[in-house]
Every structure is written in structure tokens, then in C-alpha cells.
Amino acid sequence: MKAYAPSTSVSLKGATGPSVATLGEALRDALPRGVSAGADAQLPAVENMLSQAEFYQRMDQSQRETGEYMFEFDQDEILHVDLERKETVWRLPNFSKFTSYEAQGALGNAAVGKANLESLIKSFNHTRAQNVPPEVTVFPEGPMELGEPNVLICFVDKFSPPVLSVMWLKNGQEVTEGVYETDFYPRQDNSFRKFSYLPFLPSQGDFYDCRVEHRGLPEPFTKHWGKAGAPGDPARHRAGSQDAWVLSPALGGEWGLVG
């Protein structure tokens, strides 16, 4: 896979695009402020960061091209532009009340990224991007209670390149209803992170899997969450499965890690 991936981080005062900077200012103003002190007092240095990240890449075998264009505030997504649908997607709908962002600017950057990628491929060797396997963690959004709606979060971290598939399974069957995934979030070490969310209703005996496929993995990796079966239970010995979680009456309905 070939990739052209400029990634620029700028402070609020120097942010590219006044509309997004306006949103950054609004978010900054909503943050807690310290108590003012005398002129000679040493106040802690606090900096809020508005970041723009983009990349463009091509798969060697399929020749499929993909890219990404997004803004973050203190490493939390504000928006990204869906390059296929050519539209701005706000991480939270309320963000659009503060400002607006025209997708056309991102489309122009994507065209530049594509041209730069073509030029780099022709000018340099065809060394493939390094495959760095992901770390996978599964956890609930809130405290676990039987019959109370919750959300399972599959956090996929520290991987590269940004090509990855996440699948949810309930009791061994694929689940797609209500599933939401974020874009690829850049890390300072040039790897990526991604979140996948599954709304669910905790029920005794149910178990869930987050299955991740990535070029850096020899086979799909499965993170297991739910019922801890007996030693012979195949759910406990699935290839690539890690960790089991159990709902125990002895724990007063709490969920805890077992072996």
C-alpha cells in the first residue's frame, strides 16, 4: 500500500479555516478556567489544540484509493468530511450550531493528496507501508446492570496502515443494528486508533465478540466479552480470543474479569 499522509497540528490562533477556529474558540471557552491571581503568580501552562489531519492511500492489489480529512480539538473529533458522499459529518450534531464547514475544501485537499501520491510513486521506490498490528480493548460505556441499556465499546489502537475491519458478534452471530464506527484517528507516533460502538441490553448468559481484521494480524483477532463458559466451552477457546468476562451473582450482579 502506498500512502501520502501529511498531518498538521495548529494552535487555535493559527488554525486553518476561520469557521472551524470559531468552533474551537467556543469549545475552549466552555472549558473550566482557573482563578485569576496576581501579576507575579505562576499559573500552569494550559494549551488547547485544534488539529487538522488528512491522508490519501492506494491499495497495491485492488488499486482502491481511500483518504480522510478531519479536524480534532484536544484529540477529540469535531468533524470529518465523507470524501465519497462529499459532505461534512459532525461528530456531534450540536457542533453544527456553532459554525459550518464546506466539504469542498477537503475535496480539493484530497485531489492534491492524490496528485502527490502519484508523483511520489513514480519518483521513489515501491516500498510498502509497514504493517503494525492493533491492540484491542472491549469495555462498557457505563456501569453494568441486567436489563439496563448500555453500550459496548471496542477500542482498536496503535495500528497502521489505516485499513481495518471491525465486526460485532452476539452469541456467535454477527450484529449490525445500531453499530457505529468512528473514522481513523491519528496518533502522534503516526499510527492510528478507532472506536466501534454496539448498543446492547445486558442479559445473563449472553456473550459478545469484537472481531478485528488488519494486515498486521496473521488471522482475525477476537476480543471476548460476556459469559465465561465451562472449560470445554468452545467460546472460551476460540482462536485469537482474549479475556472472558462473567456476570456473577456472588458479586451482586457486577461484571468482572476472570482468567
Has residue 116 been placed in a domain? yes
Compute CA 242 distance to the chain's CA centroid, rounded to the nearest angstrom. Answer: 20
Question: Has residue 38 been placed in a domain?
Answer: no
Cα separation of 88 and 99, whole Å? 12
Residue 100 pLDDT: 84
For the chain, the DSSP string reads -EEE--EEEEEGGG-SSHHHHHHHHHHHHTS--PPP--TT--PPP---EEEEEEEEEE-TTT--EEEEEEEEETTEEEEEEETTTTEEEESSGGGGGT----HHHHHHHHHHHHHHHHHHHHHS--PPPP-BPPEEEEEESS---TTS-EEEEEEEEEEBSS-EEEEEEETTEEE-TT-EE--PEE-TTS-EEEEEEEEE---TT-EEEEEEEETTSSS-EEEEEE----TT-GGGS-TTEE-EEEE-GGGTT-EEEE-
Per the DSSP assignment, residues forming a β-bridge with 89 are: 80
* Whole-number Å distance between alpha carbons of 135 and 157: 5
Region 174-202 average pLDDT: 94
d(CA 18, CA 76): 19
Tell me what the mean pLDDT of segment 68-97 comes to. Answer: 88
CATH number at residue 209: 2.60.40.10
Rounded to 10 degrees, the C-alpha dihedral 149/150/152/157 comes to 150
Q: Across residues 39-64, what is the average pLDDT?
A: 72
Res. 161: pLDDT tops 80: yes
Which domain, by its residues, includes 242?
Answer: 135-258
Q: Who wins on pLDDT, 151 or 22?
A: 151
Which pLDDT band, with edges at 50, 70 and 90, does 47 fall under? confident
| 105/149 same-domain check | no
User: Hey, CA dihedral for 207, 223, 70, 95, is it positive or negative?
Assistant: positive
What is the number of domains present in the chain?
2
Residue 129 lies in a domain: no
Q: Do 180 and 253 lie in a common domain?
A: yes
Confidence at residue 238, expressed as pLDDT on a 0 to 100 scale: 38
Q: Which residue has the cell 481511500?
A: 66
240 and 184 assigned to the same domain: yes
pLDDT in tens, 189-247: 989 999 999 999 999 899 999 999 999 999 999 999 986 533 323 333 333 444 433 33
Answer yes or no: do 214 and 139 share one domain.
yes
Specify the pLDDT at position 255: 41
CATH of the domain at 8: 3.10.320.10
Query: Is residue 175 domain-shared with residue 93, that is, in the same domain?
Result: no
Nearest to 195 by CA among 214, 181, 207: 181
Q: Is residue 37 part of a domain?
A: no
- In this predicted structure, the answer to whether residue 96 has a pLDDT above a threshold of 90 is no
User: What pLDDT score was predicted for residue 15?
Assistant: 35
Query: Are residues 10 and 103 both part of a single domain?
Result: yes
Q: Quick one: 118 and 139 in the same domain? A: no
Three cell numbers written together for 120:
511520489
Residue 178 pLDDT exceeds 90: yes
For cell 484530497, name the residue: 110
Measure Cα distances from 177 to 138, 170, 199, 213 in Å: 18, 11, 9, 20
Percentage of the chain exceeding pLDDT 90: 35
The model's pLDDT over 30-41, given as tens digits with 9 standing for 90+, comes to 444 433 334 444
